[in-house]
Amino acid sequence: MDELLANPAVQAAGVPFIAALVVGLLLRPVGWYWAGLAVIAGFYASVSLITGFEFTPLTSTRKLVLIGMCAAAVGLAIDYLAAKPRQLYPLLAVLGGGTVLWVIWPPLMRMEGAALWMYGAGSIAYVVWILLALEGLRNRALRADAALMSLALGTGIAALMGASALLGQLASALAAATGAFLLLSIFKKTLPVGLLMLLPAALLSGLIGISAMTYAKLPWYSLLALATIPLLARIPLPQKLPLWGQAAALVALTLPAAAGAIYLVWREAGAPPM
């Protein structure tokens, strides 16, 4: 069993998928947004095997793990308080910008002049866009689920090909957990998407992409392809499609953007390290 759990593929795909599926089935009858904890549980089940929960020294990867935990708590508070958009959007922008700067601050401070401002502003803009665009899908659960899964999957494979196996594993774990949540949502009744799930999943996806660009070899323009995923998830679908048909169509609409990002990384960096 220990040998099986040490397998990177099991850690990044099997464990988060199964953990999210089990937790989602247990929490589904509870209602409200609690089932969204399935994604959090699946991701951190994988984290426990990949990096563990030690936070000293506080590396960029450990910052991501800590940010995800805090984002889940903030998301739960926002869901509970039912914050209105005029209050929510500035808060999401501040969270996105602040966490980006915290994660990439050391290399950012080694830059000078226009490069510093362009790199910092571009990184913040990407993460804030991901947060706001996905928040706009919160009331359309299947669209949000499909967009999150494709975004995390594209980010994970792109990060792996950009020479960061660790970031690739983390994003892939998030994709697997979100995939399990999407699977649960196509049976009988769509599970609601609250910020309890959406905020940490979207924030981590965005931050992992920026981290792979900063600390590995992910080209900046590959993030532009990933940034189109929330827009593709908004394409209208035939109204008579069953839930499984809607989910399949949304995955088919959003995955090409993830594939495009992966191709751009492959063209720049070549095959992933083995």
| Per-residue pLDDT tens digits for 196-221 | 999 999 999 999 999 999 998 899 99
pLDDT for residue 272: 58
Q: Which residue has the tokens 């649960």?
A: 184
How would DSSP label each residue in 51-92? T-S--SS--HHHHHHHHHHHHHHHHHHHHHHT--HHHHHHHH
Distances (CA, A) of 97 to 35, 125, 246: 28, 8, 33
pLDDT for residue 2: 65
Is the separation of the CB atoms in 63 and 102 below 8 Å? yes
Q: Which amino acid, residue 174?
A: L
pLDDT for residue 234: 96
Which residues does 140 contact at the CB level (< 8 Å), separation at least 6? none
pLDDT for residue 8: 79
191 SS3 class: coil
pLDDT for residue 271: 62
Instruction: Provide the residue-wise pLDDT of the chain in tens; the chain has 274 residues.
Output: 667 767 878 888 999 999 999 999 898 888 778 888 999 999 999 999 998 898 888 899 999 999 999 999 999 999 888 777 778 899 999 999 999 999 999 998 898 888 889 999 999 999 999 999 999 998 898 999 999 999 999 999 999 998 789 999 999 999 999 999 999 888 867 778 889 999 999 999 999 999 999 998 899 999 999 999 999 999 999 888 888 899 999 999 999 999 999 999 998 876 655 5
pLDDT for residue 87: 82
